[in-house]
Amino acid sequence: MKELREITANHPWNLMTTSADEGQFLNMLLKLIGAKKTMEIGVYTGYSLLATALAIPDDGTVSSLTSPLPDPPLPIHQETETGMKQILAMDINRENYELGLPCIEKAGVAHKIDFREGPALPVLDALLEDEANHGTFDFVFVDADKDNYLNYHERLMKLVKLGGLLGYDNTLWNGSVVLPADAPMRKYIRYYRDFVLDLNKALAADQRVEICQLPVGDGITLCRRAK
Ligand SMILES: C[S@@+](CC[C@H](N)C(=O)[O-])C[C@H]1O[C@@H](n2cnc3c(N)ncnc32)[C@H](O)[C@@H]1O
- Closest C-alpha residue for ligand 1 atom 18: 119
Beta strands per DSSP E along 108-218: 113-117, 137-142, 160-169, 209-214
Q: What is the ipTM of this complex?
A: 0.99
Confidence (pLDDT) at 192: 97
Mean pLDDT of each 10-residue bin along the chain, 227 residues long: 82 70 94 96 96 87 38 47 78 96 96 97 97 97 98 98 98 96 95 98 98 95 97
Q: How far is the CA of 147 from the centre of ligand 1 (A)?
A: 12
Give the pLDDT confidence score for residue 1 in this predicted structure.
84
Q: Are 77 and 88 in contact (CB under 8 A)?
A: yes
Q: What distance in angstroms lies between residue 16's CA and the mean position of ligand 1's atoms?
A: 9
Determine whether the shortest distance from the Cβ of 218 to ligand 1 is under 6 A: no
- Nearest Cα to 14, choosing from 111, 96, 98, 108? 96
Can you give the pLDDT at residue 4? 84
Cis peptide before 73 (omega within 30 of 0): no
How far is 129 from 146, CA to CA, in rounded Å? Answer: 24
Domains of the chain: 2-225 (3.40.50.150)
* Residue 151 beta carbon below 6 angstroms from any ligand 1 atom: no
